[in-house]
Structure formats: C-alpha cells, structure tokens
Amino acid sequence: MTKQGNPRGEQGNPRVHGHGDAEGDTISDHFAFRAALRKNRALDLTYRVAVGVVGATIIVIGIILLPLPGPGWLIIFGGLFVLSTEFAWAERLLDYARGKVHAWTEWVKDQSLLIRTLIGLACMVIVAAAVLVYVALQGVPDWIPLIG
C-alpha cells in the first residue's frame, strides 16, 4: 500500500479527492465553497450526490433528444461537464469524447467537397426521418399552422 492507500501505487484523482500535493490540485483550490463543504462529510456527500443526480438527469434528457432534431449531443456533453466537476471518471470520459469529436472534425475537414456534402446530406436525411417518424406517431403538433 502507498501513502494514499492504493495497492497499485496510483495517486487517485487529487482534483476530486483532495489528495494532491501540488498547489492548485484540489477542487477546494479551484472552488472556494468546496473547501467549506469538504469540512462537513454529510454536506460533501450531499453535494456530490446532487451533482451526480443533476448531471445524470441532463445526460438522460440529451439521450432522449438524440433522435429528434436539436442539440441532443450538446446536452449530453453539458451533463458530462456537470459530472466532471466532481467525478474523475466523468472528466476522463469528457476528455475522451472531446478528442473523438476533434478527430472527427479534422477528418471531415480533410475530405473533398463531395464527401463533406454527402455527410451533410446524410445528416439532413436522418433529421428528416426523425421528423417523419415523430409526425407519423404523434401527428402534426398543434402549434404548427397548417396550410389549407
């Protein structure tokens, strides 16, 4: 066992657990109110649970909105951001997702105009299909004015 109590000798995430030795390593160094919450275990746990519930709720809403036209992925990334303020695994997942989005964006930039156009058309077809499925299942919403 190491001084952190981890059998593999890993430090753990100092940002989340407050084990960092370097200045500016802990959450309480970045957010002053966290230092006050950390002093009280019950408040600290309550805060972490609340962040988990709020972040998970945002992610679930984003997943529900994925097949619909709108910002489903943006909402999911927002939920991951909320979770990453308290949980190291969420921060790692968010960094991984950002890397994949960046790699995809760079790949698309390197493609010819024809390929980029086909990707755009494919996205438009997916959105149109989602709208058609919605209208077939739910009907035309009342707030959309009908012609005729």
Q: How many whole angstroms separate alpha carbon 132 and alpha carbon 68?
A: 10
Per-residue tens of pLDDT for the chain, all 148 residues: 444 444 434 444 444 444 333 433 345 456 677 777 788 888 888 999 999 999 999 999 999 888 776 788 899 999 999 998 888 889 999 999 999 999 999 999 999 999 999 999 998 898 888 888 888 888 887 777 765 4
pLDDT value of residue 15: 46
DSSP 69: S
Give the orientation angle of helix 72-84 with respect to helix 88-110, to 10 degrees: 140
